[in-house]
Amino acid sequence: MGKIRAKALLAKYEAGECTEQEKALLESWHLSYPLDAVENISLDEQAQDLDQVWNMLQPETKPVTRKLTLWPKIAVAAAMIVVAGIALFFYLQQLNPFQQTNKLASDLLPGKNNAVLTLANGQKIILNETANGEIAKQEGISITKSEDGTIIYNIDPSVPEKKAQSGVLLYNTISTPRGGKYQLNLPDGSKVWLNAASMLKFPVVFAVNERRVELTGEAYFEVAKNKHQPFHVKTTKQDVEVLGTHFNVSAYRDENEVKTTLLEGSVKIIALSKQSNAKTSADVILKPGEQARLVESQLSVAKADIDEVMSWKNGMFEFNNCDLTSIMRQASRWYDVDVVYESEIPNVKFSGEVSRNVNASAFLDMLKYLDVKFSIEKIGNNRSRIVVSK
């Protein structure tokens, strides 16, 4: 198999005609390779390395019964190649403005565990700068940070009843910046994962008859079951009532709809009046696999794309026929970068996925086949912005 066949494979990739194995190998290798190093490799070296990548794919022609055994070994071996066979393909495309954007965006790093916990007394704890172990105590309640960074509330069993009966609730707030995420275990044992640019307000000890938290942004909940204390998630537009279930709520202020997706159990969605936060007549009960969308106090229910909804928690960006503005809003939050449109907003939709652990260049590379141009501009104060144009 010579260079012509290897280049033909890359041409197949560009045309979207690769097999799943070919596509997985090429894409995973490309995402792991620093594009700005390609210029230091001669054309002869690139051609040689391209053949090496092609040779790694030859076991694919062996009987189907051996594909599942051989493929992981092939992928690992290819990922360990230090030189860039596949990079030749992208290098030869460098006149494409998008490839220049990749280089400019290489320093826009992905988000990470980063949040601030604000206690009832106003004390702020920067969680990513705090050592593991106990980080604070409140009214007999110990707040600890585990080895994986999760914040856990350890409550003395005698404290909740006394504090709840007093009718005085102390509230804590955890907030993630753009480019941040975090996990929290609430005082009742419920687990919460916060996406970037999100905030959760919750009592240190829940009331006797209910558990109520307030959310801005996006979070995934795994609620501890307690039939005597319904769990409520309140946003500016709706109230979600549950007893014990797994669900995701997306309620960003810059989105025109609130989306609640149920994975397990049952939840009731209650739309709230803009004027008084009072309940309106519109409410729905979701079944697992369904998603409620709230737009202008109107609720609708449809089958959910669970993989797409949960992709952020699972460390992925996944888009299924998603419009460009929604994609770029997610990029803006995760990479902490501004996004502006040079002219009218392109009316395009996209389907694809990429790891949330890659830098912005690899993220934008995912969008390379759209008829849209991207450029990166420095705007001062160590900030950048992505300019989108046709």
pLDDT at position 241, please? 95
Mean pLDDT of 88-98: 44
- The mean pLDDT value of the chain amounts to 78
The residue that leads in pLDDT, 123 or 47, is 123
User: Do 260 and 241 touch, CB atoms closer than 8 A?
Assistant: no
The answer, yes or no, to whether residue 352 has pLDDT greater than 70, is yes
User: For position 380, what pLDDT does the model report?
Assistant: 78
Sheet holding 373-380, edge to edge: 338-341, 383-389, 373-380
Looking at per-residue confidence, does 51 or 374 come out higher?
A: 374
Residue 256 confidence (pLDDT) above 50:
yes
**Can 112-308 and 315-389 be said to share one CATH topology?**
no
Measure the CA–CA gap between 105 and 366, rounded to whole angstroms. Answer: 13
Distances (CA, A) of 233 to 199, 236, 265, 274, 345: 12, 10, 15, 17, 34
Across-strand partners of 374? 388
CB atoms within 10 A of CB 95: 7
**Phi, psi of 22, deg, nearest 5:** -60, -45
User: Amino acid identity, residue 236?
Assistant: T
The domain 112-308 having CATH identifier 2.60.120.1440: the answer here is yes
Structure tokens at 98: 């998008």
- Domain edges within the chain: 3-94, 112-308, 315-389
pLDDT band at 10 (very low <50, low <70, confident <90, very high): low
The pLDDT-based confidence of 85 (bands split at 50, 70, 90) is very low
The pairing of beta strand 211-222 with beta strand 133-138: unpaired
Looking at CATH, the fold of the domain delimited by 315-389 is given as Phage tail protein beta-alpha-beta fold (3.55.50)
Express each pLDDT in 261-274 by its tens digit.
999 999 999 998 76
pLDDT tens digits, residue range 262-315? 999 999 999 987 654 555 546 899 999 999 999 988 899 999 999 999 999 999
Tokens of 133: 């172990």
Confidence of residue 93 (pLDDT cuts 50, 70, 90): very low
Q: Quick one: pLDDT at residue 45?
A: 54
The predicted model gives 64-68 an average pLDDT of 32
Residue 390, pLDDT score = 81
Averaged pLDDT, 140-146: 90
**pLDDT value of position 370:** 86
Confidence band, pLDDT 50/70/90 cuts, at residue 43: very low
Evaluate whether 85 touches 338 at the Cβ level (below 8 Å). Answer: no
- The pTM (predicted TM-score) of the whole model is 0.72
